[in-house]
Amino acid sequence: MRIKKIIKMSLLLFFLVFLTVILNGNITQTVHLQKYNKMKLVDSWFRGKFSSKEMLKVKDHLSPECKHLLQNVLKEVKYFPVPESEEDDTLDVSFVDTWQAERNYQGKRGHEGTDLMASENLRGLYPIVSMTDGTVTNIGWLEKGGYRIGITSESGIYYYYAHLESYAGQKKGDIVKAGEFLGYMGDSGYGPEGTVGKFAVHLHLGIYVYRGGEEISVNPYFVLLHLKNKKLKYAYS
C-alpha cells in the first residue's frame, strides 16, 4: 500500500516537473520569437544576417517590414553577378563575409557589401551581369566606388555594382533584365575619375533599401550564397 502511494507521488512529481519544463521552454521560445516580430530594418542582426539560414528559420516571425524586404530580395535576385567562363574554368571569383569589416579610405567605416575577388587579377576580363530586373538609376564615377552602376528593382531595392573597368552601354533610366551584361569587372576607384590599381580586381556588391530618406544597407553575402548555382555562362578568356 505504502509503496503504491510512493510510486503514485513520484509519478505525479515527475509529471509536474515535465509540465514545468515544457511550459518554460514554450515561454522562453515565445519571448525569443517576439524580438523578431518587433524588428526594424535598421536592426544590426537583421542587416548582418540578411537571408542567412539562421534568418530563414525564423522568417515567419519577422516584422512585416523585415519580412517584406527579405521576400522581395529573394524573389527578384535571379542570377549570380559574375557569369562562368565557357572557355576557361580557372576563371572564377571567391568571396567571404566581410560585412562591417574595417575600411579606411576617407575615414574609418564598416564595409557595407561583399567583394567578389577575381582569380585572375586582370581588369576588363570578367563580365558583370545584373542580378535582377530593374532600372538604371545611377551610372558613372564615384570616388569610393569608381565606375559604378546602380539598378533599382521594381520593389525599390537598390543593387550597387562598383569598381567596374568599363560599361556595357546602358544609360540612366534604361530598363535592364536579370542576366543582362552591365560592364566588365575592374579595380577603379579611390581617387579622381579614372583612378585604377589601388586594390585587387573585384566586384563590390551592395544592397540598399530607402526608408523615409534613410539609406539602409543589408549584407549581400548570404544572398550571393543562394545564387552560387545560378551562374550564367559567357564566352570569355
Please report how close the Cβ of residue 26 comes to Zn ion at its closest, in angstroms: 43
* Binding to Zn ion, residues 146-175 (CB under 5 A): none
Using CB atoms, what's the residue nearest to Zn ion?
Answer: 204
Q: In whole angstroms, what is the distance from residue 231 CA to residue 80 CA?
A: 5
Please report how close the Cβ of residue 97 comes to Zn ion at its closest, in angstroms: 12
Of 13-21, 30-38, 81-89, 107-115, the segment contacting Zn ion by CB under 5 A is 107-115
Give buried/exposed letters for 163-201 (b at 16+ CB in 10 A, else e): bbbebbebeeeeebebbbbbbbbbbbbbeeeeebeebeb
* Binding to Zn ion, residues 74-103 (CB under 5 A): none
Answer yes or no whether residue 49 interacts with Zn ion by CB under 5 A: no
Please report how close the Cβ of residue 45 comes to Zn ion at its closest, in angstroms: 21
Of 57-65, 81-89, 110-118, 125-133, the segment contacting Zn ion by CB under 5 A is 110-118
Count Cα atoms within 13 angstroms, Cβ side, for 67: 11
Count Cα atoms within 13 angstroms, Cβ side, for 229: 1
Of 23-31, 106-114, 151-159, 214-222, the segment contacting Zn ion by CB under 5 A is 106-114
The binder of Zn ion chosen from 115, 151, 159, 222 (CB under 5 A):
115
Looking at the Cβ atoms of 66 and 116, the one nearer to Zn ion is 116
Give the SS3 label for residue 124: coil
Q: Name 13's Cβ contacts closer than 8 Å, sequence gap at least 6.
A: none
Give the SS3 label for residue 93: strand
How many residues in the shown chain lie near Zn ion by CB under 5 A? 3
Answer yes or no whether residue 47 interacts with Zn ion by CB under 5 A: no
Answer yes or no whether residue 204 interacts with Zn ion by CB under 5 A: yes
Taking 3-state DSSP, the helix, strand and coil percentages for the chain, each rounded to the nearest 5, stand at: 30, 30, 40
Contacts to Zn ion by CB under 5 A: 113, 115, 204
